[in-house]
Structure 1
Amino acid sequence: MPPERSTNPLWMLRFAITDLRSRISALKIFLACLILGVTLVAATASLYRVIEQSLLADTRALLGGDVELDTSEPLPDEALEWIRATGNISLVREFDTIVSGSGGDGFFRAEILVLDALYPLYGELELTPDEPLGVLTAQKEGQWGAIIDPLLAERLGQSVGDQIEIGAATFRISGLIQKQPDRSLNANWRGLPIMISEQAVEATGLIRPGSRVDYEYRVQTEQNLDTWLEEFEQAFPDARWEITTFAERSERISERLDQIATALILIAFTTLFIGGLGVANSIHAYLDEKLGTIATLQTLGLRRKPLVGIYLLQIGVLGSLAGLVGGGIGLGLSALAISLAGDAFALAGPDGAGGWFSLWLVPLLLSWLFGVLTAYVFALPALARALAAAPAGLFRGQVEAAPNEPRSWRIASYLLLAVYIGATLFWLPSPHLGFLFLLAVTLLWGLLEGLIKGLRRG
C-alpha cells in the first residue's frame, strides 16, 4: 500500500466508513446506549433552558412590581406619600382561612386575596367571565362576589353562580382565576387563592386583633432601583419592612432552578455514563471480530499511525451519529413537552436567532460533544488493546488482543476522562453541586474497591 495514500485523511475516512458499514449490526448496542443517554441529557438540558428563560424573562410580573415591601401591618401615611411621589404603589392583603361549599360540605384551606384598583402593576389578570375585577367582586342582591381558583371550585363541587362560605359571610362565586401573573412559585403552600373586595372583608369577620395578615406593597418606579432603595432607607432608617427587588427575586429563582436542573442533569449524565458500560462491551466485541483485519493490514504494510486514525475515526463517526440522533430526539421530546404545557412557558422568552441558538442549537451541539466524548472514553481502552495485538498471530491462526493497553494509551484515557469530567462540571448550572456529587461518587467507589480487595485478601 503506497505510504502517501495510507496517510491521506480522505482515504482514511472512506476506508473507516466502508469497514464500519460491513459490521454495523454488531454495534447496535453501542449506538442504543449512547442514544438513550444523550437523549436524556439533551431533553433535560433544553427544558431547563426554556423554563429558566421563560421565568426570568418577566420577573417583575412574578414579584408584582419593581420592589415589594412585605409587612404585617399597614405602612404609615408618610411612607405611602413618599412612595407615591416616586411611582405607583399597589397593595395586596393576604390571609389564610378555611372555606366550604354552601351546604357546609367539604372544608379546604384557601388564601384570601384583597386587591386594590391598581393590581396588577405588571402582567395581566385573566378571569372568567372576562369582566373587571371590581365588577366581579361587587355586591349584588345582598351577596358579595368571590373569584376563586378553578381547582378549588372543582374540589368544592361548585361553579360560577353557586355559593361559598368564607368566615361569617356567604359569597357568590362570580368568576374563576385563569391566570394570575404573580402566582407564587412555592406550590401553593398557603392554599388556593380567592379574590374578594376590600368592603367584603368586614363581612367575613376574619380580621380581628391578633389575626395574621400580610400586607404586600408592590412599587412600580422608573428610577434606578439602587438609587430608589438608598433614598428610601435614608428617608425611613428605622423601618422594619422586608424589602425585595425584582433583581433579587431573579437571583433567587435562578439559584433554585440551577439546583433543581443540576440534580436532573446529573441523573441524565449518570444514565449516560452507565450506558457507557454497554458502549465498552459492544466496542470490545466489535474489535475482537476486527483483530484479524487489523493484523492483516499491518502485515500488508499499513503503518501504525493511519491504522490508529482509521479506528479512531470509526469511533468518532459512531459517537457523532449517536450524539446527533439522541440530541435531536431529546430536543423533540422537550418541544413536545413545552407544546403540551400550553401557556405555562409563555412568559416572554428570548426572541430572534440568539434565543433559538441558546435554547436549541447549544444543547444539540453539546449533546453531540458528549456523545463523542462518551464514545471515546469507554472505547479507548478496548481499542488500545486491539491495536497492540501482535500480527504474528495470523501464522498461528488466532490473533489475540493485548492483555493491557500500552502506557501512552492509558495516560491518554485518563486525560480524556478528565476532559469529560471537566466539560460536565462546566456545563452544569451549579458546578459546585456537581463537584460534591462527583466527590461523593469517588469516595463510594474507593470504599467499594477497598472492600473488594479486602475480601480477596481475606
Structure 2
Amino acid sequence: MHGSLPTIGAEPRREAGRPWRLPLILRLALRELRGGVRGFAVFLACIALGVAAIAGVASLSRSLTEGLGREGRRILGGDVTFGLIHREASPQERAFLEARGALSVVAFTRAMAVAGDKGAALVELKAVGPDYPVLGDLATDPPLPRADLFAARDGTYGAVADPALLARLGLTTGDRLSIGAAQIVLRAALVGEPDKIANGIGFGPRLLVSTEALRASGLVQPGSLNRWVYRLQLPDASDAKVEAVMAEARSALPDAGWEVRSRLNADPRFSRSVERFTQFLTLVGLTALMVGGVGVANAVRAFVDRKRPSIATLKSLGAPGGQVVALYLTQVMLIAGLGIAVGLAVGAVLPFALQAAFGAVLPLPLDPRLAPGELLVAAAYGVLTALAFAIGPLGRAHDIAVSGLFRDAVDPDRRRPRTRYLAILGAALAGLVALALTTAFDRGVALIFIAAAGLAFGLLRLVGTGLMALARRLPRPQRPAPRLALANLHRPGALTPSIVLSLGLGITLLVTLSVIDANITRTLTRSLPARAPSLFFLDIPSRDAAAFDQFLGAAAPQGKIERVPMMRGRITALNGVPAGQIKAAEDAAWVLDGDRGITYAEDLPEGSRITQGAWWTPAQAATPLVSFDDQLGRSLGLKVGDTVTVNVLGRSLTVAIANLRHVEWRSLGINFVMVFSPGTFRGAPHADLATLTLPEGPDAGIEARILRDAALRFPSVSSVRVKDALDAVNDLVGKLVLAIRGASAVALVASLFVLAGALAAGHRARLYDAVVLKTLGATRARLLAAYTIEYGALGLATALFGLGAGTLAGWVIVTRVMRLDFVPDLAGAVLAAVLAVVVAVGLGLAGTWRILGQKPASYLRNL
C-alpha cells in the first residue's frame, strides 16, 4: 500500500478527472444518519409543531386577505362606497356620483319590530333598492325573485328576516309585523347576503326591506340614526381609476363628511382585526417554537451523551474539536430540516383543508393559495430556533478531552462553550428577535413578547439552579427514599433544570389564560349588570321627548331616567391636520375611523371628572367648545386649547378643546368621547338618547313590558335591553377566548412534548442508577417512592413559580392591554397548576416504571 491515509481533520484534495464528492463533514453526517433518527422524536415533534403553527397561521391569513381582496367588490357591493349618517346625499352629491358610474343605494338603521301579542324585538334594518344585490346573490328560504321578496301589496311591504328573529318572536313566513308606521309581511328567511361582512356586527337580527318600506315607516327623520350607503360601480374598475374617483370626491366635496371605502380595502377595520389576530396567533406559534426549543436542547444533550464513544474515537484519531462540533451540528440541522419540512407542509395545506371541509359554511371568503414568503419566514423561525438551542450542548464537546468524555457521565464538565459558539448563539437569538420585529403588525406587542419570553427563560433557569443549590444544602434525611430523592435533585446530570423549564412554561401559560378568562367573565357577568342601566332608548324625536319621559315615569315610577341629545359626527381634522394623515396609536386610531356619537351638555356628565382644563361656565356655553376623553386625547397628542374639526350633518365645525375628562366607561351610563357646549349645535336637528335604570336591578318581566309598550306607543324609538347587548358581547368574547385557548393549546402540547423529552433524556442515567441500586438491594417500591418525591417536589416548586408568574402576566394583560379592573381569582389557576403537577408526576413515573423493571445482569456485564 503506497501513500498514507488522510487524517480525519483534513479534507482530501480532489484529483483532476475524479468526480466531485460531497464535503467530508456532510458525508460523515449522512452516513451516521443512515441508522435513522432514533432519539429525536421529541426534537422533530417540537420543531414541526412550532413551524406548522406559524406557517399555518401565516398561510391562513394570506388566504383570507387574498379572499377579501378578490371578493372586495362583492363584499362592498361596488367599486367605491360613500356612507352618510343622519342624512341622504344632496342633489349635488348624488349628481357627482351618478356622473361616474352606476349607482345603487342601501340604508341601515335600528328599529323595533312589533309582532302584536308575540312581542317586540330590536332589529338591524337594512333597506335595499330594486336592483339589490347588484353583485353576488341573495339567498333566501324559500328562494323567490327579488320583486316578490320586497314588493308592496295592499299597503303591506315584503321583508326577509334573519332566522334568529323568527325564533325569538315565534314567527314563520307569512306572518305580519310593524316597523314604525309600516306594515310588513315576512316572505322568506334570510340564508345569505353577499355584503354581510361590510354590514358590520349588530345587536339585533337582520331584517331586509325595500327603501320604500323604510320611508313609509316614518323612521327617516332629521337627526335620526340612519346610515345611507351609496355604492358606485365604475365603468373602468382599474385600481388607478378607483383611487382617482376617491381623490376627486375629497377634492370636489370636501365638506360632505362621508365615509369612503373602496374594493381595494373593503373593510379596513376588519382587515386590521385580521392582522392583529394573526400577530397574536403567530406569537402563540412562536411560543410553541420557543418552548419546543427546550426540547431541542434536551434532545441534543441526550444525543451528545449517546455519542460519547463516537466523539472520543474521532478525537483519538485526530479530529479537531471544531470538526466534531461541525459534524454533529450538521446532523442536528439535517434532522431539524426534516421537522421544518413537515411543519411547512402542514401549514401550507391548512387553508386548502379548511376550504375543502368548511368552505360552504365559512362566513369569510377564503382564497387558498401557497404563500412562499410566509412559509420562508416560518422556515427561518425553525432554523434559527434549532440552531440557538442546539449550539450550546454541541459546543461544549469541543474542548473536552477524550478521557473527560468518558468521565462526563458522573462528573460533567461545567465550562462554557467557546466564544465562537456563544457568538453563533447570540446571532441566532438576534435573528429571532429581528424576524419577530420585522414581521410584527404591532412592534410594541412583539417587543413585550420578546422581553417576557427572555424574562421567563431567565427566571426559570434561576429557579432550577436555586432548587439544586437548596437541595445540596438541605440536611440529609434518614429514610432512604427521601434521601435518594433529594440527591437526585442536585446530582450531576440531574433533570431539575430541564423539568423546571419545560413544566414552568406550560404552567405559566395555563395560569395566565385562566386569570384572563376569570377577569373577563367577572367583568361581563358580575360587575357590569349591577351598575348598568336596564334599558337604552335610541332615536327619541325631540318633539316626543317630554311625552317619552312621562311614559317611562309611569312605567317605572322609582326608576332613574337619563336623557341627552345625540348626533353622529366624524372627526375630519385635528389641529388642522386631516384625519387621514394622522398616524394615531393603535388604541386611539378607531376614533378617527368612521362616525362617532356626540352630544352637548351644560353640566359635566355623570361618571366623568375633569383632568385638564375646566368645564365651561354658562357664559362660555354659548360658544363652540368641546370636552374630550383624556385617555384618547393623550394617545392622539391633544391638550387643552387644541382644535378638533368634526363633520356633522354635512357641515364642518372647528372647535377648541376646553377640557379633558376621565370617563368611567364600564358603568355603561350615557357618556361620549366628545361632549360639546350647547351653543355649538344650537338649532341643529337631532334625536335623543335615554336610559332607564330600574330600582331593584334588571327585571326581565318589567323590561319586556316596557319594551312592548314603548314599541306600540313610540314606534320610531329603538329600545335596547342592556342584558341582551351584554349577552351578545359576552358571546363574542367567549368565542374569542375559546379561539385563544385553542391556539394556546399548541404551546401547551409543545410543553408536554418537552417534558416527555426531558424525562427521556435522563433515561440512561436513570437506568444506570436503577441497576446499581437494585443490585445493592433496593426494591421497586422504594425506588418508585423516591422518584415520586423527586417529581412531586419539582412539580410543586414549579407550580408555585407558574402561579406567581402567570398571575403577574395576567394582571399586565388585563389592566394594561384590556383596560379592565383586575381581581385575583386563582381558583382556576390553582386547578391548572395542580393538574400540571399531576401530569408531571405521572409522566415521570410512567417513564421510570419500565426502567425499574429491567434485569441488572445484562447491564452489569457492560459496565
TM-score where L is the length of structure 2: 0.47
Match of 2:401 among 376, 390, 393: 390
CA distance in 2, matches of 1:185, 1:79: 22
Match of 1:296 among 303, 313, 317: 313
CA distance in 1, matches of 2:304, 2:173: 70
CA distance in 2, matches of 1:210, 1:251: 27
Q: Give per-residue Cα distances to partners, 1:140-198, cap 9 Å, x unaligned.
A: 46643211223443444444334445445553321233332222357523533211123
CA contact (8 A) 2:82 2:260 kept: yes
The SS at the match of 2:88 is: coil
- Name the aligned partner's letter for residue 425 of structure 2: S
Aligned-residue offset at 1:82: 3.0
Q: More deviation in 421-430 or 288-297?
A: 421-430
Match of 2:245 among 211, 221, 228: 228
CA contact (8 A) 1:161 1:173 kept: yes
Identity across the alignment (%) = 30
- 1:262 maps to 279
CA distance in 2, matches of 1:370, 1:317: 15
Match of 1:341 among 344, 350, 358: 358
- Name the aligned partner's letter for residue 372 of structure 1: V
The SS at the match of 1:2 is: coil
Aligned-residue offset at 1:55: 1.0
Q: Name stretches of at least 5 consecutive residues in structure 1 with no aligned partner.
A: 350-354
1:55 aligns with 2:60: no
CA distance in 1, matches of 2:443, 2:334: 30
Q: More deviation in 277-286 or 430-439?
A: 430-439
- Name the aligned partner's letter for residue 101 of structure 2: G
- 2:852 maps to none
- 2:184 maps to 171
Alpha carbons of 1:421 and 1:129: their partners in 2 closer, same or farther (altered >3 Å)?
same
1:425 aligns with 2:437: yes
Aligned-residue offset at 1:294: 0.5
Match of 1:275 among 277, 284, 292: 292
The SS at the match of 1:328 is: helix
CA distance in 2, matches of 1:302, 1:136: 84
1:406 aligns with 2:418: yes
- Name the aligned partner's letter for residue 425 of structure 1: L
Aligned ranges 1:193-272 → 2 under 5 Å: 193-201=206-214, 204-208=217-221, 210-222=223-235, 224-247=241-264, 249=266, 252-272=269-289
TM-score where L is the length of structure 1: 0.84
- 1:112 maps to 125
CA distance in 2, matches of 1:199, 1:15: 81
Match of 1:313 among 330, 335, 339: 330
- 1:352 maps to none
CA contact (8 A) 2:352 2:369 kept: no
- Name the aligned partner's letter for residue 294 of structure 2: L
The SS at the match of 1:79 is: helix
Q: More deviation in 21-30 or 375-384?
A: 21-30
Aligned-residue offset at 1:94: 1.1
CA contact (8 A) 1:150 1:177 kept: yes
Q: Name stretches of at least 5 consecutive residues in structure 2 with no aligned partner.
A: 12-20, 470-863
Aligned-residue offset at 1:2: 2.3
- 1:149 maps to 162
Q: Give per-residue Cα distances to partners, 1:208-257, cap 9 Å, x unaligned.
A: 55532111122223463444345445544543333334446465544332
CA contact (8 A) 1:389 1:402 kept: no
The SS at the match of 1:117 is: coil
Q: Give per-residue Cα distances to partners, 1:111-163, cap 9 Å, x unaligned.
A: 11111123334433333433332321113466432112234434444443344
Q: Higher helix fraction: Structure 1 or Structure 2?
A: 1
Aligned-residue offset at 1:34: 1.7
CA contact (8 A) 1:262 1:428 kept: yes
Runs of 4+ in structure 1 deviating by more than 6 angstroms, as ranges, are 394-399, 443-456
Q: Which has the larger radius of gyration?
A: 2
Q: More deviation in 399-408 or 274-283?
A: 399-408
The SS at the match of 2:60 is: helix
CA distance in 2, matches of 1:394, 1:79: 84
- Name the aligned partner's letter for residue 371 of structure 1: G
Q: More deviation in 273-282 or 426-435?
A: 426-435
- 2:346 maps to 329
CA contact (8 A) 1:112 1:193 kept: yes
- 2:149 maps to 136
Q: Give per-residue Cα distances to partners, 1:359-391, cap 9 Å, x unaligned.
A: xx5444444433232211101100001232211
- Name the aligned partner's letter for residue 402 of structure 2: P
CA contact (8 A) 2:385 2:428 kept: no
CA distance in 2, matches of 1:396, 1:423: 41
CA distance in 1, matches of 2:194, 2:407: 78
- Name the aligned partner's letter for residue 404 of structure 1: R
- Name the aligned partner's letter for residue 92 of structure 1: V
Alpha carbons of 1:435 and 1:243: their partners in 2 closer, same or farther (altered >3 Å)?
same
CA distance in 1, matches of 2:408, 2:440: 50
- 2:428 maps to 416
Cα RMSD of the aligned pairs, angstroms, is 3.6
The SS at the match of 1:69 is: strand
